[in-house]
Amino acid sequence: MTRGTGVSRRVLLGGAGAGVLTAALGGCGADVRRLRVAAGDDGGIYAAFAALLAPRLEARVDGLDVEVAVTAGSVDNLRRLGRGESDVGLALADSVGDPGGAGVVALARTYENYLQLLVRADSSVRDVAGLRGRSVVLGAAGSGAAVSGAVLLEAAGLAAPAVDVRYAGLAESLRELDDGSVEAVLWSGGIPTPAIAALDDTRPLRMLDLGDWAEPMAEVSGYPYRARRAPDVAYAAAGTATIGVPNLLLARPDLADDLAAAVVETLARDAAALVPSSARGVQYLAPPSMIQTGSVPLHPGAAAAYRRLHG
């Protein structure tokens, strides 16, 4: 086929326990190249961001076929990169220290996730301490929320068995919060997250203030957590503070230099079109901010692209 004959998208369930969203701009034959992107929970900000990025990468690189995998999140993505199952993946910066993250390199810092500790509006729980003896879902096993949530509970002196910790994806977590099966759900993503806002329309929710926990969490983990003011949305009262954690777009070290550069150039040049509607607040899609990847070194192809873009 000839490139440019149209865009096809399909969701394939199964495989290695995850769905795969494939974005293909026509183009098949000997010159087709594949880029496998590990994203996140279906309905979350990672999947939304990757779905925006995929067709723009394909438009920039002739013969490129981008596959976006729906995954459990940050830790799952790091492990997929380590096992060679993905070429590029998203992860929260505080998850990169997981053993599965060894050997990855960075393409960019992209935007910031907000920790959202949610209870029903009619819940008697008013703060983190009120979770003692209650059940809380810390996101899916293998997610960045599970990593950050474990740190939060330890900082608050609420590590299991003080709290009944459970793990589930966003859709299941919200179902359990709605029917009262769990007292609280921790989610890491943009504010508002569409699925959370949708539940709030029918079952009013309340986001607990986490601002005072940034420093205790940093003492526990060594990661420099920062308190952030949550964007004003229906389920977060005015002035609610939360904790922001930057997202990194990571890659295997053996990713081809030209593909790493194409990702950087796409992020920088198409920035306005690559921010999901739920990613309010801080986003870093400009070269001076994108290169701030902390202790994770830049991929050589990405570094060369930044020099061309910004000097």
pLDDT in tens, 287-296: 899 999 988 9
Q: Per the structure block, which two tokens stand in for 228?
A: 């952030």
Q: Are residues 213 and 306 in the same domain?
A: no
* 192 part of a folded domain: yes
Number of domains forming the structure of the chain: 2
Single-letter residue type at 181: S
pLDDT of residue 119: 98
* 139 part of a folded domain: yes
Q: How many angstroms separate the CA atoms of 80 and 71, rounded?
A: 9
Least confident of 1-5, 36-40, 119-123, 244-248: 1-5
Q: Are strands 184-189 and 105-120 parallel, antiparallel or unpaired?
A: antiparallel
Q: Is the pLDDT of residue 252 over 90?
A: yes
Q: Phi then psi for 143, rounded to 5 degrees?
A: -95, 160
Which residue has better confidence, 173 or 282? 173
Q: Phi then psi for 38, rounded to 5 degrees?
A: -90, 120
Q: Are residues 241 and 122 in the same domain?
A: yes
Q: Which of 226, 245, 264 is the last residue of a domain?
A: 245
pLDDT bin (cut points 50, 70, 90) of residue 8 is very low
Residues in the chain: 311
Q: Are residues 238 and 304 in the same domain?
A: no
- Read off the CATH number of the domain in which 268 is found: 3.40.190.10
Contact (Cβ atoms closer than 8 angstroms) between residue 85 and residue 155? no
Q: How many angstroms separate the CA atoms of 57 and 107, rounded?
A: 14
Q: Are residues 80 and 124 in the same domain?
A: no
* 1 part of a folded domain: no
Q: Are residues 138 and 218 in the same domain?
A: yes
Q: Are residues 135 and 236 in the same domain?
A: yes
Q: Helix or strand or coil: residue 299?
A: coil
pLDDT bin (cut points 50, 70, 90) of residue 19 is very low
Q: Are residues 251 and 131 in the same domain?
A: no
Which residue has better confidence, 264 or 281? 264
* 58 part of a folded domain: yes
Q: DSSP character for 179?
A: H
> DSSP for 63-90?
TEEEEEE--S-HHHHHHHHHHTS-SEEE
Q: Helix or strand or coil: residue 258?
A: helix
Q: How many angstroms separate the CA atoms of 65 and 295, rounded?
A: 30
| Global pTM value | 0.85
Q: Are residues 34 and 73 in the same domain?
A: yes
Q: Which of 214, 245, 276 is the last residue of a domain?
A: 245
Single-letter residue type at 156: A
Q: How many angstroms separate the CA atoms of 100 and 309, rounded?
A: 32
Residues with Cβ within 8 Å of 50's Cβ and at least 6 positions away in sequence, in order, are 21, 37, 39, 40, 68, 90
Q: Where are the alpha helices (DSSP H) in the chain?
A: 45-60, 74-83, 144-155, 170-179, 194-202, 214-221, 257-269, 287-290, 300-310
Q: Which of 245, 274, 295 is the last residue of a domain?
A: 245
Q: Mind listing the pLDDT tens digit for each residue in 129-172?
A: 999 999 999 999 999 999 999 999 999 999 989 999 999 999 99
Q: Are residues 182 and 223 in the same domain?
A: yes
Q: Are residues 26 and 56 in the same domain?
A: yes
Q: How many angstroms separate the CA atoms of 121 and 285, rounded?
A: 35
Single-letter residue type at 94: D
Range of the domain at 287: 7-111+247-310
* 56 part of a folded domain: yes
pLDDT of residue 281: 62
* 2 part of a folded domain: no
Q: Are residues 79 and 132 in the same domain?
A: no
Whole-number CA gyration radius for the chain: 19
Q: Per the structure block, which two tokens stand in for 235?
A: 């389920």
* 158 part of a folded domain: yes
Q: Mind listing the pLDDT tens digit for each residue in 68-123?
A: 999 999 999 999 999 999 999 999 999 997 554 568 999 999 988 999 999 999 99
* 132 part of a folded domain: yes
Q: Are residues 222 and 279 in the same domain?
A: no
The mean per-residue pLDDT over the stretch 25-45 comes to 77
Element (H, E) at 120: strand 105-120
